Amino acid sequence: MPGAFEIVMDERKALVDKIIGMMKQGYFFNKEEWDRASLRPQNPLSKVQYKGGNRLRLMAMVVEHGYKDPRWATARQYSEKGYFIKKGEHGVLCEKWIFEKQKKVKDQNGNVTFETVQLDRPQVSFFRVFNAEQVQDFPGFGRNECPEPEIDTVVDRIIDTSECPIHEIAQDRSFYSPSLDEIYLPLRSQFKDQTSFAKTLLHELAHMTGAASRLNRKFGGPFGSEGYAKEELRAEIGALFTETDLGIPLSGEHYEDHSDYLRSWISVIQNDYNEFFRACADAEKISDRLVSNYAKKYELPFAELTEVPVREHAEEKQEPVRTEEQIR
C-alpha cells in the first residue's frame, strides 16, 4: 500500500498533467466564463485560505467541474456543523508538509521547556476537501460578498502601491528591468481593454518582487532558456493569484502573444512536475507582497467568507465520508 509521500507525488503529477492540457489548448486560467470568486478557495469553517499548490489544485477543480462556490472543507469539518457529503462525491487531495517539531529540553535548572527544531527531512501528510456544492443542504454562497470592483480604480491603486517606477510609453513590449528596477509598459490605449492592461501590469509587478531587496529570486537567462521559463511561470501564477485576490476579471489578454511562453512552461514542468509546485510556493509569496502593499493603503475589494452556523437537526443516519488527515 503506498504511503503518504507516494500518494502526494502521484496527485502532483496528475495536477500538472491537467495544467499542461490547459496550456496545450492555449490558455492558463484566463477564460472569461470562469467565476473569479470561485477561484479564491477558502475554508469558511477554519477561516483558512488555501495557498500555493493547494490553491492551484482547487482552482483546477473549479475549472474542471464548473463550481461557483469558493468554499472547501473536510468531511469531518462539515459533519461537525451537521452537514454531510452527497453520495457519490469525491474529495480533492490537499497536501501538508511539516518542516519542524517541538522538542523537550531541560534548562540548567532541570526545568523542562520546549524548543522548535527543524526536521532533517520534512514529513508529508494529506487530507481531502469537498466543495460546498458537494454537501447536502449546505447554505448557498452569498454572491454579494464579492462585488465587482471598478477596474480603473483598482489599476490606479495598484500603480500607486508599486515599489518601483512604472513608465507607460509608446512601444510594442512590456518588461521589468532588474538593472534599473523599473517597469515599462505600452500605452493603455494600445491594450484591448483596461483588464488586459491590469493583467500585464501585475505580471511585470510580479517580476519586480524578485529583486534582491525584495524576495530575492534568481532571474535567469535569455528568452527560451530554462531559467527564463521558470521566472515567467512564477510571475504568471503570482499575477493570477493577485488578480483573484483583488477581484480583477480573468478575461484579459497580455499585450504580447503568450503561445511561446506556454510552450516554454510546458517544457519546464513536464521535465520536473515538482517545479510547478515550487513555482506555486514562490507565486504565493509574490501575491502576498503585492496584495499586502495594496491592503496597507486601500481597502480590499472583497469581504471574507463568514462561518457557517451549526444546524439544529443533523441527519442522524448518514455517515460523513472518512478523510486522511494524519501523517502516515
Are residues 188 and 295 both part of a single domain? yes
Chain segment 44-69, per-residue pLDDT in tens: 888 889 999 999 999 989 888 989 89
* pLDDT tens track for 142-187: 754 445 668 899 999 999 999 999 999 999 899 999 999 999 999 9
Q: 66-80, 204-218, 237-251, 276-290: which range is least confident on average? A: 237-251
**Residue 327 domain-assigned (yes or no):** yes
Range in 22-31, 61-70, 78-87, 287-296 the model is least confident about: 22-31
Mean model confidence pLDDT for the chain: 85
Is residue 200 in a domain? yes
Predicted confidence (pLDDT) at residue 325 exceeds the cutoff of 50: no
Q: Is the domain of 287 the same as that of 188? A: yes
Residue 78 and residue 203 in one domain = no
- Does 116 share its domain with 85? yes
Phi then psi for residue 107, to 5 deg, are -85, -175
Say how far apart CA 12 and CA 18 lie, in whole Å: 10
Residue 26 in any domain: the answer is: no
Statement to judge: residues 121 and 38 lie in one domain:
yes
| Pair (129, 156) in one structural domain | no
Do residues 59 and 134 both lie within one domain? yes
What's the length of the chain? 328
Say how many domains are in the chain: 2
DSSP letter, residue 141:
P
Sheet bearing 112-131, strands edge to edge? 72-73, 112-131, 92-106
Residue 311 phi/psi, 5-degree rounding, is -75, 145
Q: Is position 6 within any domain?
A: no
Strands (E), the chain: 72-73, 92-106, 112-131, 166-169, 175-177, 182-186
Please report, to the nearest 10 degrees, the dihedral formed by the alpha carbons of residues 133, 129, 273, 288 taken in order. 90
pTM for this entry: 0.83
Q: Is residue 24 part of a domain?
A: no
Question: Domain check: are 271 and 315 in the same one?
Answer: no
Question: Quick one: 169 and 282 in the same domain?
Answer: yes
Residue 18, domain member (yes or no): no
Looking at the chain, the whole-number percentage of residues with pLDDT higher than 90 is 51
Domain match, 98 and 133 both: yes
Whether 72 and 124 map to the same domain: the answer is: yes
The rounded distance, in Å, linking the Cα atoms of 202 and 233 is 13
- Is the residue at 294 inside a domain? yes
Domain span holding position 241:
148-301
Same domain, 124 and 260: no
Q: Is the residue at 121 inside a domain?
A: yes
